[in-house]
Structure 1
Amino acid sequence: MRKVERQRLLKNLIQTHEIERQEDFVKLLQAQSIDVTQATISRDIKEMQLIKVPNADEGYHYSLPLEKKMDVKEKLRRLFKEAYLTHHQKDYFIVIKALPGNGTAIANILDQLQAEAIFGTIGGDDTVLVICKSEVQAQEFSIFIENLLK
């Protein structure tokens, strides 16, 4: 299962259950025939910036962060730090290669950037095609990516 899909499920589980431990996520996902490890859940919790809040019986349960919005550029920087492999620009196009399972997440964040240069993106498992409005804008956006990686 892809990370984006798994994290969407985690978000739904938080909204429908009071989940106190990482192992509870694992059990609920396994009940849906989704094989996942506690270590994977731990990484997801960190990336999603989940927090623990008090519940009625003096315990704590996971919750989504309180209206904390991470800057889209910072999201992209973090994702590139973890998953980026390379990118190449040709004419109006930029092809970004990433670790498997990260292409759609990168494409999604690029769309959220609402960059003037980007006409659209297509995200696969490990590849993103960025279609720019002009060759000059593609060159500029390629430089933006390089600067993001510094």
Structure 2
Amino acid sequence: MRKVDRQRLLKNLIQTHEIERQEDFVKLLQAEDIDVTQATISRDIKEMQLIKVPNADEGYHYSLPPEKKLDVKEKLRRILRDAYITHKQQDYFVVIKALPGNGTAIANLLDQMQLSGVFGTIGGDDTVLVICKSEENAKQFTKFIEDLLK
């Protein structure tokens, strides 16, 4: 099972069960025929930044961390400044080239921004394809990217 899928399951388990120990995660996953070790769960807990909060019965259970308000535009600006290589526009499309490993993050941030002229994005390892609603929207998006890079 992929890590992202396993962590999505852990998130769901936290929301539906009061899980007090790492072994509880292992047992619940094994009940779903998912073979996982306590060490793997421990790494997932650390990566997901899970916290323990008090139970009603004086114990503790795992919880998701409080949501942090992220300035998505600022995060996009930082990743572009660190990883940007080039961009090109053709018709309704804009292609952004970045350093390897950054394409999906850039596409995800663009999706989170829900820009009105953007129909959708496709993010690869080092490339993002931005599909705009019109050629004019593509020009506006290109300017938006150029402004972020200033």
The answer, yes or no, to whether TM exceeds 0.5 is yes
Q: CA deviation at 1:137?
A: 2.2
The residue identity in structure 2 corresponding to 1:113 is M
User: Is the Cα–Cα contact under 8 Å of residues 97 and 128 in structure 2 kept in the other structure?
Assistant: yes
Q: How many residues are aligned here?
A: 136
Which deviates further from its counterpart, 119-128 or 13-22? 119-128
* Structure 1 residue runs without a partner (length 5+): none
Identity %: 49
Matched, 1:88 2:86: yes
CA distance in 2 between partners of 1:80 and 1:6 (Å): 27
Normalised to the residue count of structure 2, the TM-score between the two structures is 0.61
Aligned residue for 1:131? Answer: 131
Given the two structures, how large is their TM-score scaled by the length of structure 1?
0.61
Aligned ranges for residues 1-150 of structure 1 at < 5 Å? Answer: 1-3=2-4, 5-22=5-22, 24-25=24-25, 28-29=28-29, 32-33=34-35, 36=40, 38-45=42-49, 50-65=50-65, 68=67, 70-73=69-72, 76=75, 80=79, 85-91=83-89, 92-95=93-96, 97=98, 98-99=100-101, 103=104, 106-124=106-124, 127-132=127-132, 133-144=137-148, 146=149
Give the SS at the match of 1:41: helix
Which AA in structure 2 matches 1:42?
Answer: K
Q: CA RMSD in A?
A: 3.9
